[in-house]
Chain A
Amino acid sequence: MDTSSLLRIQNLHAGYGDVPVLWDIFLKVDRRKIIGLLGGNGAGKTTLLNVISGIISPMKGRVHFLEEDITFSNPTRRVQMGITQIPEGRLLFYGLTVKQNLRLGAFTRKDKASLEKGLDAIFQLFPRLAERKDQLAGTLSGGEQQMCAIGRGLMSRPKLLLIDELSWGLAPLVVDHIMVALKKVYEEMELSMILVEQDVQLGLEFSHRAYVLETGRIVKEGRSEDIIKDPDIRKSYLGI
């Protein structure tokens, strides 16, 4: 048995209603690894993350996390086990303050005593959030909102962080800043990540391994440094 594996997805089919969107997905995330999940619009990246989070039930296949079969576990259970998603479009609680948003990230945590410590760690990571902690999340700039979404996700102390379209709608400089912070998180916390990106270059540079999805199927997988040299990928995704 491979004990370093955190998440294992086998033969997964999923979709909406009767309409399948994902076919025959096999995916593995090892401990302390960053996985890139790449592909164009409508490829099924978000759907796959939502299956992992338990928002969507698969039609077929198995999902294991920490050697436990979680195929039909509810979202609450999965957050408790250590799977946290930072969703596409951030989905902050706009009418609540930054601090309230962050605290809700720790909703399932039992050790409420260490919550303040968690908050401090987030504020250290993103000092901009500390300055705005009592501001409504809906009034933050796009970059600040993404920082708040990441902070909220980290408050649950995840073992596996699913990040959907981190760079979406952000200026390159802001993306760089957030990437530096994420690298720090990765180095300091014992966690793995699945990074969904339309910016294939960014996704490949930041990950150890990557999967490329096209219309619901995995068409390529391997070490990111290999994929970035792959002529097909360079042609269809990097425009080179």
Chain B
Amino acid sequence: MPVLSLRKISKNFGAIKALTDVDLELEPGEVLGLMGDNGAGKSTLVKIIAGNFPPTSGELVLQDRPMHFHRPAEAREAGIEVVYQDLALCDNLSAAANIFLGREIARSIWPLKFLVSKDMTDKAGALFGELKSETRPHDLVRRMSGGQRQAVAISRTMLSEAKIVLMDEPTAAISVRQVAEVLDLIRRLKDRGIAIVLISHRMPDVFAVCDRVAVLRRGRKVAEKPIVQSSPEEVTGLITGAIQHA
């Protein structure tokens, strides 16, 4: 049974048709590569799944239950976590503070909630350990490399029992060496049975970690197939329109 099914999802921004009748299914523990040129509608699709805004039409079904998210918090409660393109981290806070941002472990002494820093630091350390990342809980995000920032953003998704993690261009703007780190992080999430949607422009990354690939072109899904039955050449053709359908 798929964890997530999208049925005939469309999204218009005024006159712009960002998405048209997109169907998509996601199985548990599967990594789906979502590819397409700039403006193809990838981020829009991710934002709909994440509850940033509702689709103009179409249905979003999570484990047999139709969902209507109005806020990102609702999607998160349903088990959908997002690693945003710009990572959405606070540079001035520590790694642990970022992981627990908005859901701090706290002891309530009315009217205040006191942070239980030790528990958060320990848990953050355990998550980094699990990801085999060298990131340290106390380090300020401002001082981190791109790969370490990714580890922080990804650890955040592991805090809750997420079923689905959406990653928008996690390997854009980081070095080759750090890309390998991030791909490892993705494999570890997959091992935990989490379904992942990976948006990437980088063909090698998609072919390294994805089980299936879906291609969007001008808001329409033009292909969806197992990665082993495709090739970088075919996907490139689908993205540019040289190949119409697959």
Bound pair: A and B? no
**Chain B interface (Cβ within 8 Å of chain A)?**
none
